[in-house]
Structure 1
Amino acid sequence: MQALSPRHVKTDEALRLGVESGWYAIKVSGTFVSGPHESEGDCRSKIDEIQPPVKKKR
């Protein structure tokens, strides 16, 4: 799976894209995976649900 990152879409861009403004989890390609979320923290929490952090082996 590709790494996901949070991205904020402001009102003017949201109107152009036909989506609501807010925080979105996106792929490297720019594809929206989840959202909109109210805050960056909420978005990061959803990213962790979708793609749990890699645990290091000891």
Structure 2
Amino acid sequence: MQNLSPRHVKTEESVRLGVTSGWYSTKVSGTFVTGPHDTEADCLRKIAEINPPPPRKKK
């Protein structure tokens, strides 16, 4: 399981990195995993697909 988080890359940074501006899911190391996404919500949905939450334990 990867620990992914959303990150917004603005235009200035996107030019420097050679990527399109938008939302990206990133590893803790900063490596882009998916993207660009139009919104943070889209990015979070993709993270949830890749990293589904652990199943709840039944009591």
Give the TM-score of the pair, scaled to structure 1. 0.94
* Preserved CA contact (<8 Å) 2:2 2:51: no
Question: 1:56 deviation in Å?
Answer: 2.5
Which residue pairs with 1:25 in the alignment?
A: 25
Amino acid at match of 1:17: L
Q: How many matched pairs?
A: 58
Q: Name structure 1 gaps, 5 residues minimum.
A: none
Structural mapping, 1:4-43, within 5 Å: 4-43=4-43
Amino acid at match of 1:8: H
Please tell me the root mean square deviation across aligned C-alpha atoms, in Å: 0.8
Give the TM-score of the pair, scaled to structure 2. 0.92
Structure ID, larger Rg: 2
Q: Name structure 2 gaps, 5 residues minimum.
A: none
